[in-house]
Amino acid sequence: MPSPIRVAITGAAGQIGYSLLFRIAAGDMLGSDQTISLRLLDIPASTSVLNGVLMELQDCAFPLLADVSITHDPVVAFDQVDLAILVGARPRSKGMERKDLLTANGEIFSTQGKILNQVAKRDAKILVVGNPANTNAYIAMKNAPDLPAENFSAMLRLDHNRALSQLAMKLGRPVAQIRKMVVWGNHSSTQLPDLYHAEINKNHVMQLIDDPAWIEGFFVPTVQQRGAKVIEARGLSSAASAANAAINHMRDWIFGTRQDDWVTMGVPSDGSYGIPEGVIYGFPVTCAGGKYSIVKELDIHPAYRDKLYSGYQELLEEQQVINHLLPQ
Ligand SMILES: NC(=O)c1ccc[n+]([C@@H]2O[C@H](COP(=O)([O-])OP(=O)(O)OC[C@H]3O[C@@H](n4cnc5c(N)ncnc54)[C@H](O)[C@@H]3O)[C@@H](O)[C@H]2O)c1
Ligand SMILES: O=C(O)C[C@H](O)C(=O)O
């Protein structure tokens, strides 16, 4: 068996952590032949809970779990990590937008970006889940100038999965048959789930959906507002589905996307689709050999062009709020 991969998870005592750790330790992210060394980070106030999580991980006797350690020191958690999933941050509650968390959470990502810069492996893959995920990922990336920008990503996979499921339900077909979904932009209510490129068994789904009102009146707002609806229903934000999306995101980034398919990742813009550099934005990407590439030259529905740009503008507005956390 290959030597253990070091995986750091922040916010490990939280609710996403509780869904995420056990699946990673069971092999859902890195496969059944790969041992894992887990580094769990949380704040001192969560030590008791984190101790309980540690006991439960031990009690599972996972064959792939080479070792697990807990700490509240990011220097220890991120030391020579291969993968870091940055979950630890405050979630929003009912009535809040995700960007309302900017000032509460931004600081965490500037600190952690600096420490990743010092101690993580130079090719570490870093996924930011904590909200507002795109801007937090941007803060971490800018505070880690010695790591390649392409090592940083933000999670839009939950939105992508939500869009896939809504479409599968509409078509009455299995989700596994759908290819080429994308959710553009910010992991916020300005995100744009776009099914105009989607295929099912190599047929364009638009040939099967003769219902434009469903797309704009149901599909798009349902995906955009899903996080808020879950908070309304559960009184807590999505956790198991978020953990599942984080595993999907990392697995595809590491092992590659399916043939003739792509996934949505929040990645640094390279100017594609008129989105200037300087933001982390949801794009369709293919992954191979541990690298992602933005899918180029898709024809954007004319009514969507301005909407893609609105997501960019919102990200710039978010950056204004946390400008003091970016190295000048
Ligand atoms: N991108 C997405 O699709 C997506 C989906 C769901 C949730 N989220 C976000 O993920 C974050 C976590 O959600 P949750 O439901 O697990 O929240 P939670 O409150 O249950 O857990 C958060 C954990 O983070 C810890 N924490 C806080 N500051 C920390 C720090 N500086 N270092 C390490 N740990 C720290 C807390 O002690 C807590 O244990 C929230 O910001 C939430 O909005 C994002
Ligand atoms: O909506 C939230 O605040 C949590 C999360 O980002 C989600 O999309 O479920």
Question: pLDDT tens, 241-250?
Answer: 999 999 999 9
Instruction: Decide: 12 and 19 in contact? Cβ < 8 Å.
Output: no
Q: Side chain identity at 43, as an amino acid letter?
A: I
Dig out the tokens for 323 from the structure.
Answer: 């400008």
User: Residue written as tokens 């092992």?
Assistant: 255
- Per-residue pLDDT reduced to its tens digit, 262-283: 999 999 999 999 999 999 999 9
Count the neighbouring beta carbons within 10 Å of the beta carbon of residue 87. Answer: 27
- 325 domain residue, yes or no: no
What domain range includes position 50? 5-154
Instruction: Indicate if 216 and 116 belong to the same structural domain.
Output: no
The residues facing 267 across adjacent strands are 281
- Ligand 2 contacts CB of residue 266 (under 6 A): no
- CATH for 87: 3.40.50.720
For ligand 1, the distance from its centroid to the CA atom of residue 179, given in whole angstroms, is 30
- Ligand 1 contacts CB of residue 13 (under 6 A): yes
Phi-psi region at 67: left, alpha or beta (left = phi > 0; alpha = psi -120 to 50):
beta
- 280 domain residue, yes or no: yes
Count the neighbouring beta carbons within 10 Å of the beta carbon of residue 16. Answer: 27
Residue 39, annotated as binding a ligand: no
Gap between the Cα atoms of 219 and 222, Å rounded: 5
Dig out the tokens for 74 from the structure.
Answer: 């990011």
Instruction: Indicate if 175 and 276 belong to the same structural domain.
Output: yes
- Ligand 1 contacts CB of residue 226 (under 6 A): no
Instruction: Indicate if 299 and 160 belong to the same structural domain.
Output: yes
Residue 243, annotated as binding a ligand: no
Instruction: Indicate if 116 and 247 belong to the same structural domain.
Output: no
For ligand 2, the distance from its centroid to the CA atom of residue 16, given in whole angstroms, is 11
From 130, 154, 178, give the residue that closes a domain: 154
User: Residue written as tokens 């077909």?
Assistant: 173
The predicted structure's pLDDT at residue 210: 83
Mean pLDDT for the chain overall: 97
- Ligand 2 contacts CB of residue 158 (under 6 A): yes
Instruction: Indicate if 303 and 161 belong to the same structural domain.
Output: yes
3-state secondary structure of 52: helix
Instruction: Decide: 40 and 68 in contact? Cβ < 8 Å.
Output: yes
Instruction: Indicate if 244 and 147 belong to the same structural domain.
Output: no
Dig out the tokens for 78 from the structure.
Answer: 């991120």
Gap between the Cα atoms of 138 and 105, Å rounded: 13
Instruction: Indicate if 84 and 171 belong to the same structural domain.
Output: no
Angle between helices 220-234 and 157-171 (to 10 degrees): 110
Looking from the CA of residue 46, the nearest atom of ligand 1 is 37
Instruction: Indicate if 25 and 78 belong to the same structural domain.
Output: yes
Residue 172, annotated as binding a ligand: no
Gap between the Cα atoms of 216 and 194, Å rounded: 10
Residue 160: pLDDT band with limits 50, 70, 90 = very high
The predicted structure's pLDDT at residue 122: 98
The predicted structure's pLDDT at residue 2: 80
Number of helices and strands in the chain (H, E): 10, 14
Q: Check 72, 160, 187, 204 and give the catalytic one.
A: 187
pLDDT at residue 328 greater than cutoff 90: no
Instruction: Indicate if 238 and 273 belong to the same structural domain.
Output: yes
The predicted structure's pLDDT at residue 16: 98
- 84 domain residue, yes or no: yes
- 190 domain residue, yes or no: yes
- 289 domain residue, yes or no: yes
Q: How many domains does the chain have?
A: 2
Instruction: Indicate if 128 and 24 belong to the same structural domain.
Output: yes
- 326 domain residue, yes or no: no
Residue 324 catalytic? no
